[in-house]
Structure 1
Amino acid sequence: MLIRDANAADWPAIWPFFRSVVQVGETYTYPQDIDEPTARELWMLRPPGRTVVAVDDSGTVLGSAKMNPNQTGNGAHIAGASFMVDPRYRRRGTARALGEHALAWARTEGYRGMQFNAVVESNTGAVALWQSLGFRIMTTIPEGFHHPTEGYVGLHIMYQPL
Protein backbone atom coordinates (compact mmCIF):
# COMPACT_ATOMS: atom_id res chain seq x y z
CA MET A 1 0.00 0.00 0.00
CA LEU A 2 1.21 3.46 -0.90
CA ILE A 3 0.04 6.65 0.79
CA ARG A 4 0.47 9.76 -1.33
CA ASP A 5 -0.90 13.25 -1.67
CA ALA A 6 -4.36 13.31 -3.20
CA ASN A 7 -4.89 15.28 -6.37
CA ALA A 8 -7.92 16.40 -8.37
CA ALA A 9 -7.84 13.17 -10.40
CA ASP A 10 -8.41 11.16 -7.19
CA TRP A 11 -11.70 12.83 -6.29
CA PRO A 12 -13.83 10.66 -8.65
CA ALA A 13 -12.54 7.60 -6.75
CA ILE A 14 -13.04 9.19 -3.30
CA TRP A 15 -16.51 10.63 -3.84
CA PRO A 16 -18.44 7.32 -4.18
CA PHE A 17 -17.20 5.90 -0.88
CA PHE A 18 -17.33 9.31 0.82
CA ARG A 19 -20.98 9.62 -0.23
CA SER A 20 -21.89 6.07 0.84
CA VAL A 21 -20.19 6.36 4.25
CA VAL A 22 -21.82 9.71 4.97
CA GLN A 23 -25.26 8.62 3.71
CA VAL A 24 -25.32 5.71 6.16
CA GLY A 25 -25.03 8.30 8.92
CA GLU A 26 -23.24 6.15 11.51
CA THR A 27 -19.79 7.72 11.76
CA TYR A 28 -19.60 11.31 10.49
CA THR A 29 -21.31 14.52 11.54
CA TYR A 30 -21.58 15.65 7.92
CA PRO A 31 -25.14 16.03 6.58
CA GLN A 32 -26.27 12.68 5.19
CA ASP A 33 -27.45 14.38 2.01
CA ILE A 34 -24.19 16.29 1.44
CA ASP A 35 -23.72 17.32 -2.18
CA GLU A 36 -20.56 16.64 -4.13
CA PRO A 37 -19.20 20.22 -4.32
CA THR A 38 -19.58 20.67 -0.56
CA ALA A 39 -17.98 17.30 0.14
CA ARG A 40 -15.08 18.05 -2.15
CA GLU A 41 -14.49 21.42 -0.48
CA LEU A 42 -14.53 19.80 2.97
CA TRP A 43 -12.24 16.89 2.05
CA MET A 44 -9.75 18.12 -0.53
CA LEU A 45 -7.76 20.51 1.63
CA ARG A 46 -5.36 23.26 0.67
CA PRO A 47 -2.24 24.06 2.73
CA PRO A 48 -1.71 24.14 5.60
CA GLY A 49 -4.03 21.16 5.39
CA ARG A 50 -3.23 18.03 3.45
CA THR A 51 -5.31 15.26 1.90
CA VAL A 52 -3.84 11.87 1.06
CA VAL A 53 -5.01 8.64 -0.50
CA ALA A 54 -3.99 5.08 0.22
CA VAL A 55 -3.65 3.09 -3.00
CA ASP A 56 -2.87 -0.55 -3.75
CA ASP A 57 -0.31 -1.80 -6.26
CA SER A 58 -2.75 -1.29 -9.13
CA GLY A 59 -3.46 2.32 -8.11
CA THR A 60 -6.93 1.63 -6.71
CA VAL A 61 -7.87 4.16 -4.03
CA LEU A 62 -8.56 2.21 -0.84
CA GLY A 63 -9.14 5.14 1.48
CA SER A 64 -8.28 8.72 2.20
CA ALA A 65 -7.36 11.01 5.08
CA LYS A 66 -7.26 14.73 5.60
CA MET A 67 -4.96 16.41 8.10
CA ASN A 68 -5.01 20.00 9.20
CA PRO A 69 -4.59 22.39 12.09
CA ASN A 70 -7.43 21.58 14.50
CA GLN A 71 -8.00 25.29 15.16
CA THR A 72 -6.66 28.58 13.83
CA GLY A 73 -4.56 31.23 15.54
CA ASN A 74 -3.33 30.29 18.99
CA GLY A 75 -4.82 26.80 18.66
CA ALA A 76 -3.08 25.95 15.40
CA HIS A 77 -0.31 23.95 17.10
CA ILE A 78 -2.67 20.96 17.53
CA ALA A 79 -3.44 18.88 14.44
CA GLY A 80 -6.74 17.33 13.50
CA ALA A 81 -7.48 14.55 11.05
CA SER A 82 -10.31 12.59 9.47
CA PHE A 83 -10.20 9.20 7.81
CA MET A 84 -12.42 7.31 5.43
CA VAL A 85 -11.89 3.84 3.95
CA ASP A 86 -13.86 2.48 1.03
CA PRO A 87 -16.15 -0.19 2.57
CA ARG A 88 -15.09 -2.63 -0.18
CA TYR A 89 -11.48 -2.47 1.08
CA ARG A 90 -11.90 -2.53 4.85
CA ARG A 91 -10.01 -4.93 7.10
CA ARG A 92 -6.78 -4.57 5.11
CA GLY A 93 -4.96 -2.23 7.49
CA THR A 94 -5.79 0.88 5.47
CA ALA A 95 -7.16 2.92 8.38
CA ARG A 96 -4.18 2.01 10.57
CA ALA A 97 -1.73 2.95 7.81
CA LEU A 98 -3.54 6.27 7.25
CA GLY A 99 -3.56 6.94 11.00
CA GLU A 100 0.16 6.23 11.32
CA HIS A 101 0.81 8.43 8.30
CA ALA A 102 -1.21 11.30 9.78
CA LEU A 103 0.67 11.08 13.08
CA ALA A 104 4.03 11.05 11.29
CA TRP A 105 2.96 14.06 9.21
CA ALA A 106 1.88 15.98 12.31
CA ARG A 107 5.18 15.26 14.05
CA THR A 108 7.18 16.31 10.99
CA GLU A 109 5.14 19.52 10.71
CA GLY A 110 5.88 20.38 14.34
CA TYR A 111 2.42 19.94 15.84
CA ARG A 112 2.36 19.38 19.60
CA GLY A 113 -0.58 16.99 19.54
CA MET A 114 -3.40 15.56 17.47
CA GLN A 115 -7.05 15.87 18.43
CA PHE A 116 -10.08 14.13 17.01
CA ASN A 117 -13.14 16.28 17.68
CA ALA A 118 -15.88 13.78 16.91
CA VAL A 119 -15.35 10.02 17.21
CA VAL A 120 -18.75 8.36 17.50
CA GLU A 121 -18.86 6.24 20.64
CA SER A 122 -20.67 3.37 18.89
CA ASN A 123 -17.95 3.21 16.21
CA THR A 124 -16.06 0.78 18.42
CA GLY A 125 -13.66 -0.34 15.70
CA ALA A 126 -12.42 3.21 15.15
CA VAL A 127 -12.25 3.92 18.89
CA ALA A 128 -10.16 0.78 19.43
CA LEU A 129 -7.89 1.60 16.49
CA TRP A 130 -7.21 5.15 17.67
CA GLN A 131 -6.57 3.91 21.21
CA SER A 132 -4.11 1.33 19.85
CA LEU A 133 -2.27 4.20 18.16
CA GLY A 134 -1.96 6.09 21.45
CA PHE A 135 -5.06 8.29 21.52
CA ARG A 136 -6.97 8.75 24.75
CA ILE A 137 -10.60 9.63 25.20
CA MET A 138 -10.43 13.04 26.86
CA THR A 139 -14.17 13.43 27.27
CA THR A 140 -17.42 12.22 25.81
CA ILE A 141 -20.27 14.52 24.90
CA PRO A 142 -23.34 12.59 26.08
CA GLU A 143 -25.82 12.11 23.25
CA GLY A 144 -23.58 14.23 21.02
CA PHE A 145 -24.38 12.16 17.93
CA HIS A 146 -27.74 11.03 16.60
CA HIS A 147 -27.11 7.54 15.23
CA PRO A 148 -29.75 6.36 12.71
CA THR A 149 -30.39 3.04 14.47
CA GLU A 150 -28.94 3.39 17.99
CA GLY A 151 -30.45 6.78 18.76
CA TYR A 152 -28.42 9.36 20.64
CA VAL A 153 -24.92 8.12 21.48
CA GLY A 154 -21.82 9.76 22.87
CA LEU A 155 -19.29 11.68 20.81
CA HIS A 156 -15.69 11.27 21.96
CA ILE A 157 -12.99 13.88 21.84
CA MET A 158 -9.72 11.97 21.54
CA TYR A 159 -6.18 13.29 21.88
CA GLN A 160 -2.56 12.26 21.64
CA PRO A 161 0.42 14.44 22.55
CA LEU A 162 3.18 14.31 19.94
Structure 2
Amino acid sequence: MLIREATDQDWPAVWPFFRRIITEGETFTYPPDLTSEQAREWWMLAEPFRTVVAVDDEGRVVGSAKMNRNHMGNGSHIASASYMVDPAHQGKGVGRALCSYSVEWARDAGYRAMQFNAVVASNTPAVALYRSLGFEVVGTLPEGFRHPKLGYVGLHIMHRPL
Protein backbone atom coordinates (compact mmCIF):
# COMPACT_ATOMS: atom_id res chain seq x y z
CA MET A 1 0.00 0.00 0.00
CA LEU A 2 1.18 3.47 -0.90
CA ILE A 3 0.18 6.59 1.04
CA ARG A 4 0.63 9.75 -0.96
CA GLU A 5 -0.59 13.33 -1.05
CA ALA A 6 -4.11 13.56 -2.45
CA THR A 7 -4.72 15.51 -5.63
CA ASP A 8 -7.91 16.94 -7.11
CA GLN A 9 -7.95 13.93 -9.46
CA ASP A 10 -8.35 11.62 -6.43
CA TRP A 11 -11.64 13.14 -5.26
CA PRO A 12 -13.84 11.09 -7.65
CA ALA A 13 -12.37 7.93 -6.05
CA VAL A 14 -12.74 9.22 -2.47
CA TRP A 15 -16.26 10.66 -2.78
CA PRO A 16 -18.17 7.33 -3.16
CA PHE A 17 -16.89 5.86 0.12
CA PHE A 18 -16.94 9.26 1.84
CA ARG A 19 -20.62 9.65 0.87
CA ARG A 20 -21.47 6.12 2.00
CA ILE A 21 -19.79 6.60 5.38
CA ILE A 22 -21.44 9.93 6.16
CA THR A 23 -24.82 8.80 4.83
CA GLU A 24 -24.75 5.73 7.10
CA GLY A 25 -24.21 8.19 9.94
CA GLU A 26 -22.51 5.83 12.39
CA THR A 27 -19.00 7.25 12.72
CA PHE A 28 -18.76 10.94 11.72
CA THR A 29 -20.49 14.08 12.93
CA TYR A 30 -20.66 15.41 9.36
CA PRO A 31 -24.11 16.27 7.99
CA PRO A 32 -25.29 13.27 5.95
CA ASP A 33 -26.59 15.47 3.15
CA LEU A 34 -23.27 17.10 2.21
CA THR A 35 -22.83 17.62 -1.49
CA SER A 36 -19.68 16.41 -3.18
CA GLU A 37 -18.41 19.98 -3.44
CA GLN A 38 -19.07 20.73 0.25
CA ALA A 39 -17.40 17.50 1.32
CA ARG A 40 -14.44 18.17 -0.92
CA GLU A 41 -13.94 21.61 0.66
CA TRP A 42 -14.00 20.07 4.15
CA TRP A 43 -11.74 17.11 3.30
CA MET A 44 -9.18 18.27 0.74
CA LEU A 45 -6.97 20.54 2.84
CA ALA A 46 -4.34 22.94 1.58
CA GLU A 47 -0.88 23.36 3.07
CA PRO A 48 0.28 23.65 5.77
CA PHE A 49 -2.24 20.88 6.40
CA ARG A 50 -2.43 17.70 4.39
CA THR A 51 -4.84 15.24 2.82
CA VAL A 52 -3.53 11.89 1.69
CA VAL A 53 -4.88 8.79 0.00
CA ALA A 54 -3.99 5.16 0.54
CA VAL A 55 -3.60 3.33 -2.76
CA ASP A 56 -3.51 -0.46 -3.05
CA ASP A 57 -1.21 -2.51 -5.28
CA GLU A 58 -3.72 -2.24 -8.14
CA GLY A 59 -3.77 1.56 -7.99
CA ARG A 60 -7.18 1.85 -6.31
CA VAL A 61 -7.80 4.52 -3.67
CA VAL A 62 -8.86 2.50 -0.61
CA GLY A 63 -8.75 5.18 2.08
CA SER A 64 -7.97 8.78 2.87
CA ALA A 65 -6.90 10.95 5.78
CA LYS A 66 -6.84 14.65 6.47
CA MET A 67 -4.38 16.13 8.93
CA ASN A 68 -4.57 19.57 10.46
CA ARG A 69 -4.06 21.78 13.47
CA ASN A 70 -6.70 21.03 16.09
CA HIS A 71 -6.83 24.51 17.63
CA MET A 72 -5.63 27.99 16.78
CA GLY A 73 -3.53 30.48 18.73
CA ASN A 74 -2.08 29.16 21.96
CA GLY A 75 -3.50 25.70 21.23
CA SER A 76 -1.97 25.46 17.77
CA HIS A 77 0.66 22.96 18.92
CA ILE A 78 -1.96 20.16 18.96
CA ALA A 79 -2.67 18.28 15.73
CA SER A 80 -5.73 16.33 14.68
CA ALA A 81 -6.66 13.98 11.88
CA SER A 82 -9.65 12.19 10.39
CA TYR A 83 -9.69 8.92 8.48
CA MET A 84 -12.03 7.26 6.02
CA VAL A 85 -11.48 3.75 4.72
CA ASP A 86 -13.52 2.33 1.87
CA PRO A 87 -15.81 -0.21 3.59
CA ALA A 88 -14.82 -2.78 0.95
CA HIS A 89 -11.26 -2.57 2.26
CA GLN A 90 -11.79 -2.40 6.02
CA GLY A 91 -9.84 -4.83 8.17
CA LYS A 92 -6.84 -4.84 5.83
CA GLY A 93 -4.60 -2.40 7.72
CA VAL A 94 -5.57 0.71 5.75
CA GLY A 95 -6.77 2.64 8.81
CA ARG A 96 -3.68 1.65 10.81
CA ALA A 97 -1.39 2.79 7.99
CA LEU A 98 -3.21 6.12 7.65
CA CYS A 99 -3.21 6.76 11.39
CA SER A 100 0.48 5.87 11.71
CA TYR A 101 1.24 8.17 8.79
CA SER A 102 -0.63 11.05 10.39
CA VAL A 103 1.21 10.62 13.70
CA GLU A 104 4.52 10.84 11.86
CA TRP A 105 3.31 13.85 9.87
CA ALA A 106 2.31 15.64 13.09
CA ARG A 107 5.60 14.80 14.78
CA ASP A 108 7.62 15.95 11.76
CA ALA A 109 5.55 19.16 11.56
CA GLY A 110 6.50 20.00 15.15
CA TYR A 111 3.22 19.34 16.93
CA ARG A 112 3.47 18.26 20.57
CA ALA A 113 0.40 16.01 20.65
CA MET A 114 -2.57 14.75 18.67
CA GLN A 115 -6.17 14.99 19.76
CA PHE A 116 -9.28 13.49 18.23
CA ASN A 117 -12.31 15.53 19.27
CA ALA A 118 -15.17 13.22 18.39
CA VAL A 119 -14.52 9.48 18.29
CA VAL A 120 -17.90 7.76 18.44
CA ALA A 121 -17.75 5.46 21.48
CA SER A 122 -19.66 2.69 19.69
CA ASN A 123 -17.04 2.66 16.89
CA THR A 124 -15.10 -0.01 18.77
CA PRO A 125 -12.73 -0.88 15.89
CA ALA A 126 -11.54 2.75 15.67
CA VAL A 127 -11.24 3.11 19.44
CA ALA A 128 -9.20 -0.11 19.63
CA LEU A 129 -6.98 0.99 16.74
CA TYR A 130 -6.27 4.38 18.27
CA ARG A 131 -5.54 2.82 21.68
CA SER A 132 -3.12 0.39 20.04
CA LEU A 133 -1.27 3.37 18.55
CA GLY A 134 -0.89 5.14 21.90
CA PHE A 135 -4.04 7.25 22.12
CA GLU A 136 -6.02 7.37 25.35
CA VAL A 137 -9.59 8.42 26.06
CA VAL A 138 -9.22 11.59 28.11
CA GLY A 139 -12.91 12.36 28.29
CA THR A 140 -16.29 11.32 26.98
CA LEU A 141 -19.22 13.56 26.15
CA PRO A 142 -22.20 11.46 27.30
CA GLU A 143 -24.82 11.05 24.59
CA GLY A 144 -22.82 13.38 22.35
CA PHE A 145 -23.64 11.42 19.18
CA ARG A 146 -27.04 10.39 17.84
CA HIS A 147 -26.33 7.00 16.31
CA PRO A 148 -28.98 5.94 13.76
CA LYS A 149 -29.28 2.42 15.22
CA LEU A 150 -28.09 2.64 18.83
CA GLY A 151 -29.57 5.99 19.83
CA TYR A 152 -27.49 8.40 21.85
CA VAL A 153 -23.92 7.22 22.49
CA GLY A 154 -20.82 8.92 23.85
CA LEU A 155 -18.21 10.87 21.94
CA HIS A 156 -14.65 10.23 23.11
CA ILE A 157 -11.89 12.80 23.12
CA MET A 158 -8.69 10.85 22.49
CA HIS A 159 -5.13 12.13 22.93
CA ARG A 160 -1.54 11.06 22.57
CA PRO A 161 1.68 12.95 23.12
CA LEU A 162 4.19 13.08 20.30
Q: Is the pair's TM-score, using the shorter chain for normalization, greater than 0.5?
A: yes
CA distance in 1, matches of 2:64, 2:8: 13
Name the TM-score, length of structure 2 as normaliser. Answer: 0.99
State the match for 2:84 in structure 1.
84
Q: Is the 8 A contact 1:65 1:82 kept in 2?
A: yes
Q: Is the 8 A contact 1:145 1:154 kept in 2?
A: yes
CA distance in 2, matches of 1:148, 1:34: 17
State the match for 1:95 in structure 2.
95
Q: Is the 8 A contact 1:70 1:78 kept in 2?
A: yes
> Tell me, what secondary structure is at the counterpart of 1:31?
coil
> Tell me, what secondary structure is at the counterpart of 1:107?
helix
Which region of structure 1 is more displaced relative to structure 2, 31-40 or 12-21?
31-40
CA distance in 2, matches of 1:2, 1:36: 25
Q: How many residues of Structure 1 are paired with residues of Structure 2 in the alignment?
A: 162
Q: Is the 8 A contact 1:146 1:153 kept in 2?
A: yes
Shift of residue 76, structure 1, vs aligned partner: 1.0
Q: Is the 8 A contact 1:48 1:69 kept in 2?
A: no
CA distance in 1, matches of 2:90, 2:141: 28
Shift of residue 44, structure 1, vs aligned partner: 0.1
Shift of residue 23, structure 1, vs aligned partner: 0.1
Identical positions, percent: 63
State the match for 2:74 in structure 1.
74
CA distance in 1, matches of 2:72, 2:11: 26
CA distance in 1, matches of 2:49, 2:136: 23
Q: Is the 8 A contact 1:52 1:65 kept in 2?
A: yes
State the match for 1:121 in structure 2.
121
CA distance in 1, matches of 2:42, 2:106: 19
Q: How does 1:102-113 map to 2 (within 5 A)?
A: 102-113=102-113
> Tell me, what secondary structure is at the counterpart of 1:26?
coil
Q: Which amino acid aligns with 1:39?
A: A
CA distance in 1, matches of 2:62, 2:17: 9
Query: Do structure 1's residue 62 and structure 2's residue 62 form an aligned pair?
Result: yes
- Stretches of structure 2 that go unaligned for 5 or more consecutive residues are none
Moved over 4 A (4+): none
State the match for 2:27 in structure 1.
27
Shift of residue 7, structure 1, vs aligned partner: 0.3
Shift of residue 29, structure 1, vs aligned partner: 0.1
Q: Which amino acid aligns with 1:78?
A: I
CA distance in 1, matches of 2:72, 2:35: 26
> Tell me, what secondary structure is at the counterpart of 1:140?
strand
CA distance in 2, matches of 1:118, 1:44: 19
Name the TM-score, length of structure 1 as normaliser. Answer: 0.99
CA distance in 1, matches of 2:92, 2:145: 27
